[in-house]
Amino acid sequence: MPDGTPTGRFAPSPTGELHFGSLVAAVGSFLQARHQGGRWLVRIEDLDPPREVPGSAERILADLRRFDMTPDGEVVRQSSRQAAFDEALARLASRGLLFPCACTRSELPPGPYPGTCRNGLPAGREGRSLRVRTPDQPIVLHDAVQGEVTENLSETCGDFVVRRADGLVAYQLAVVVDDAWQGVTEVVRGADLLSSTPRQRYLQRVLDLPSPSYMHLPVVRDAEGHKLGKRHGADPVAQQAPLKALGAALSFLGHAPPAHGSLQERWNWALAHWNPERIPRSGATHTDRDGQTVYSSHERSEKDA
Ligand code: GLU
Residue 18 has a pLDDT of 92
Residue 295 has a pLDDT of 65
Protein residue with least CA distance to atom 6, ligand 1:
11
CB of 47 closer than 6 angstroms to any ligand 1 atom: no
What is the CA(169)–ligand 1 centre distance, in A? 14
What is the CA(227)–ligand 1 centre distance, in A? 14
Taking the C-alpha atoms of residue 63 and residue 5, their distance in angstroms, rounded to an integer, is: 26
Q: What domains are defined for the chain? A: 7-78+179-200+207-297 (3.40.50.620), 82-174 (3.40.50.620)
CB of 39 closer than 6 angstroms to any ligand 1 atom: no
CB of 193 closer than 6 angstroms to any ligand 1 atom: yes
Q: Note if 227 is an active site residue.
A: no
**Nearest CA to 190 among 148, 249, 232?**
249
Question: Cα dihedral sign for 153, 214, 62, 2?
Answer: negative
Residue 234 has a pLDDT of 58
Residue 28 has a pLDDT of 98
Residue 285 has a pLDDT of 62
In sequence order, the β-bridge partners of residue 286 are 294
DSSP secondary structure string for all residues of 20-48: HHHHHHHHHHHHHHHTTT-EEEEEE----
Q: For residue 127, give every residue at least 6 positions away whose Cβ sits within 8 Å of its Cβ, in sequence order, or none.
A: 100, 101, 102, 117, 121
**Nearest CA to 40 among 185, 173, 165, 161?**
185
* pLDDT tens for each residue of the chain, 305 residues long: 567 799 999 999 999 999 988 999 999 999 999 999 999 999 999 999 999 999 999 999 999 999 999 999 999 999 999 999 999 999 999 999 999 999 999 999 999 999 999 999 999 999 999 999 999 999 999 999 999 999 999 999 999 999 999 999 999 999 999 999 999 999 999 999 999 999 999 999 999 999 999 999 998 887 677 776 644 555 678 778 999 999 999 999 999 999 989 999 999 999 999 999 999 998 766 454 444 556 666 654 433 33
Q: Which atom of ligand 1 is nearest to the CA of 10?
A: 8
What is the CA(190)–ligand 1 centre distance, in A? 8
Residue 235 has a pLDDT of 66
Phi, psi of 171 (to 5 degrees): -50, -45
**CA distance readout (Å), 278 to 186, 240, 281:** 18, 25, 9
**Nearest CA to 33 among 64, 6, 65?**
6
Q: For residue 93, give every residue at least 6 positions away whose Cβ sits within 8 Å of its Cβ, in sequence order, or none.
A: none
What is the CA(138)–ligand 1 centre distance, in A? 24
103 CB burial (10 A radius; 0-12, 13-18, 19+) = buried
Q: Name the active-site residue from 227, 230, 244, 303.
A: 230
Taking the C-alpha atoms of residue 155 and residue 113, their distance in angstroms, rounded to an integer, is: 9
Taking the C-alpha atoms of residue 17 and residue 52, their distance in angstroms, rounded to an integer, is: 11
Residues 203 and 173: beta-carbon distance below 8 Å = yes
**Nearest CA to 173 among 94, 97, 86?**
86
CA angle (199 as vertex; 277, 178 as ends), nearest 5: 80
